[in-house]
Structure formats: structure tokens, C-alpha cells
């Protein structure tokens, strides 16, 4: 199955690809996959090694919560002031948007995710839900525990699907995923240009598309589009300020678009739904492919729930330099405590590095745009005044 017909222009094909995770397109690839008699596993966390899910013949499909404003059904199971992504993900399960899922998997990313997985397990929607163990740090001891967790996932998947995950198939999948990561890295490399050929919102469209499509189809399409993107030009009102955006569970490109419409050029991100999804490769030449997969997932740029906040800040500062950014905008999801605590650590580091930084609360679904725009515009005005 092709993404769009072959007579479509490259711009049309790019549009189709980057809009794959919009609500009206989101389930297309999963339903197509199921038509072939294969299963789909919904994923709630970027730490679940997708290569294993694919090697078991399932389509790993990142769960986007409902983008609708209210989550009334989830309110039966979850207090209002808890992780909004978790509530909206639960809502999409309860309202039937995700009834096609055969299984779901996540990690105990934080208490919010644990309780979400508990609910899914209790109500048996989807029919099977699996919670992986994920350490809070990466060191010799925790790595051994994580490898064990990855092996447990392998056994669970084999039992669930009846498919034996062979080393040969796993290595083939690692090749596919590494190709996807390399292609997305090439797209991000283009964002270093003075006049980037894609917007930040488009980049988020691509990374969220990658997580719901059969990866080989995504790879083929992106590979064909790359030469076009290299020469694509988008009109910019001004080339500065260039910003890096931070956040977790941000999958609505409307939020990035909002920052860009406020007058900034968003050239890099620290999203689990963006750069952190594809950053770093699995070492394909490793003798022990399971350990190589485990290493890649635990060692990739950390998330707010991991203890290595200094490393995370250092990674972001490095990106700010590499991508020639003038500041950092964090759109911090409401009621997500790890992000709230990390803020105090980040602000110290960014202030010390002389990088302007703003962190503003946001909902999971696109809301309060006027309020957010005022704060982001003021931040941009502040950067521009400083540059004068």
C-alpha cells in the first residue's frame, strides 16, 4: 500500500506523510495492517523496544490520546489533576477510538502511567496490556535489570502472538529501525540551516507518523522525499529567533505551530515524541543483539522521569549550540510532576549557560492558545530586544 498515488506531487506526498497522525488519518495504517490478519500493539512509552514488537509480527502503534477537549469517561477512573496525556489516552480507549488494538504496552514511567496501565489491565481494554519494568538510571546494575526486562518483554510477546522471535528477524528489524532513525536524523540535520526547509510543526508531524506506520513503508516514503526536502524552501518572515522546544507527550503539531506563528523558527526539540524517539542507533554489529537494543533505549537522551537531569540539561545545551538556537521554550504538560520538578534543575543550568528559557503550562489537547501565545510572544520580544 502506498501513502498517496504516484501521480501526486512531492509536496502532496510530504503533506500526506506529515499528517498521518491527524485524527482523520491516524488509524489508517493500523486497520490496513489488521486486514492482513496481523495484530497491532498500542504503545504508551518511547522506552518500549519497538524492534521486539515488530519481530513478533505486530505493528507497534504509539497511542495518541484523544485530541477532544473533554475526557469525561476517563474521569471515572482518574482524578482531574493528573497527567493529561494519560487521561486523554484512557479516554480514547474508553470511547472506542482504539477498539482495534489487540494489546497495549508501556512502562512504569511515573505513577500516572502505572495507574493508567493498572486501569487498562483491570478493564481488559485492550484484551491484553503489559507493563515493562524501567529503571530510573543507566548504570551497570540497572542495565542488567533492564536487559532482563527486555527479555521478559520478548517472552511475553512470543506467548501473546505464538511467534518465536528469532535472532535473524530481530537483526532484520534493528536494520529497519536504524534506517528510520538515520532518515529522521537527516531530516533534523536540515533544520540546522539558516532557512530550514521544514517547520517544527512539520517535523513533529513526521516523527509522530513514524510511530504509527509500518516502518518500512515510512522509510521508503521518507527516503524518496528527502531529496525534495533538501531543496524545499519555506518563506520565513524572519530567520530569528531560532528556538528549541522542550516537553513530554506533546504530539499535537498545533502547539509547535503556535510558537512559530508567534514569530519564532523552531529548529530543534527535546520531545519524547520528537528527537528522543529516534536519537541514537542500536549497535547492529553487537554479538548480543538484545543487549544492544537494551543499551540504545536506556542510554538515549533521557526523559524527565530519569534521574540524570544534569545530563539532560547538558544534552539540550549541546543541541542549542549545534542548532544555533537563541532560546528554549518548554510547553510543560499540566499535572506532570517529573516535568515540574525538572524545571527547577533546568532553569539553573540554562541560566548558567546564558540561554533564555521559558516554561509555560499547557493542556494535552490544544487549548488556551491565546494565553500561551501572549507568553511566547513576550519571550520572543525579550530575545529580540536583547539582540538589538
Partner 1 sequence: MITGGIDIGSLSTKALILENRETILGWSIMLTGPAPVESASAVLDAALKETNLCMADIKYLVATGYGRVNVPFAQASVTEISCHARGNNWLFPSVRTILDMGGQDCKAIRCDEKGNVLAFAMNDKCAAGTGRYLERVASVLNLDLEQIGPLSLQGADKHVQITNTCVVFAEEDIIRSIREGHNSIDILAGAMDAIVDRVVALLERVGVEEDLCVSGGVAKNAGVVGRLQQRFALKPSIAPEPQVIGALGAALVAADMGELNAE
Footprint on this chain of partner 1 (rule: CB under 8 A): 360-361, 368, 370-371, 374-375, 377-378, 381-382, 385-386
**Residue closer to partner 1, measured from CB, 35 or 388:** 388
CB of 378 to partner 1, least distance (A): 4
CB of 274 to partner 1, least distance (A): 24
CB of 375 to partner 1, least distance (A): 6
**Residue closer to partner 1, measured from CB, 9 or 374:** 374
CB of 286 to partner 1, least distance (A): 47
CB of 354 to partner 1, least distance (A): 13
CB of 83 to partner 1, least distance (A): 17
CB-based contacts of 51, cutoff 8 Å, min separation 6: 170, 173, 174, 177, 282, 293
**Residue closer to partner 1, measured from CB, 38 or 261:** 261
**Residue closer to partner 1, measured from CB, 32 or 377:** 377
**Residue closer to partner 1, measured from CB, 171 or 375:** 375
**Residue closer to partner 1, measured from CB, 296 or 365:** 365
Amino acid at each position: 500500500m502506498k501513502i498517496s498515488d504516484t501521480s501526486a506531487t512531492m509536496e502532496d506526498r510530504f503533506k500526506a506523510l506529515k499528517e498521518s497522525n491527524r485524527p482523520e488519518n491516524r488509524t489508517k495504517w493500523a486497520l490496513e495492517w489488521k486486514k492482513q490478519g496481523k495484530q497491532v500493539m498500542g504503545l504508551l512509552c518511547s522506552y518500549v523496544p519497538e524492534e521486539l514488537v515488530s519481530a513478533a509480527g505486530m505493528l507497534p502503534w504509539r497511542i495518541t490520546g484523544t485530541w477532544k477537549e473533554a475526557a469525561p469517561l476517563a474521569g471515572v477512573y482518574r482524578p482531574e489533576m493528573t497527567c493529561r496525556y494519560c487521561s486523554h489516552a484512557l479516554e480514547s480507549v474508553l470511547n472506542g477510538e482504539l477498539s482495534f488494538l489487540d494489546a497495549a504496552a508501556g512502562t512504569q514511567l511515573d505513577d500516572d502511567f502505572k495507574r493508567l496501565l493498572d486501569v487498562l489491565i483491570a478493564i481488559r481494554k485492550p484484551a491484553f496490556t503489559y507493563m515493562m519494568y524501567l529503571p530510573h538510571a543507566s548504570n551497570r546494575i540497572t542495565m542488567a535489570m533492564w536487559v532482563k526486562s527486555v527479555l521478559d518483554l520478548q517472552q511475553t510477546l512470543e506467548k501473546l502472538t505464538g511467534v518465536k522471535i528469532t535472532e535473524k528477524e530481530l537483526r532484520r528489524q534493528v536494520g529497519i529501525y536504524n534506517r528510520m532513525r538515520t532518515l529522521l536524523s537527516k531530516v533534523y540535520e536540515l533544520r540546522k540551516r539558516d532557512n530550514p526547509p521544514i517547520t517544527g510543526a512539520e517535523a513533529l508531524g513526521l516523527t509522530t507518523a513514524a510511530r504509527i506506520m509500518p516502518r518500512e513503508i515510512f522509510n521508503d516514503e521518507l527516503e524518496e522525499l528527502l531529496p525534495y526536502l533538501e531543496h524545499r524552501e519555506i518563506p520565513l518572515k524572519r530567520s530569528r529567533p531560532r528556538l528549541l522546544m522542550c516537553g513530554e507527550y506533546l504530539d499535537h503539531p498545533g502547539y509547535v505551530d503556535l510558537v512559530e506563528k508567534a514569530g519564532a523558527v523552531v529548529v530543534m526539540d527535546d520531545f519524547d515524541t520528537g528527537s528522543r524517539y529516534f536519537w541514537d542507533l542500536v549497535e547492529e554489529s553487537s554479538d548480543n543483539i538484545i543487549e544492544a537494543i537494551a543499551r540504545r533505549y536506556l542510554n538515549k537522551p533521557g526523559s524527565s522521569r530519569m534521574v540524570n537531569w544534569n545530563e539532560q540539561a547538558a544534552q539540550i545545551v549541546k543541541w542549542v549550540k549545534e542548532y544555533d538556537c537563541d532560546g528554549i521554550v518548554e510547553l510543560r504538560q499540566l499535572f506532570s510532576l517529573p516535568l515540574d520538578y525538572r524545571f527547577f534543575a533546568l532553569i539553573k543550568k540554562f541560566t548558567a549557560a546564558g540561554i533564555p528559557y521559558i516554561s509555560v503550562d499547557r493542556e494535552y489537547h490544544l487549548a488556551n492558545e491565546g494565553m500561551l501565545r501572549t507568553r511566547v510572544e513576550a519571550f520572543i520580544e525579550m530575545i529580540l530586544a536583547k539582540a538589538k
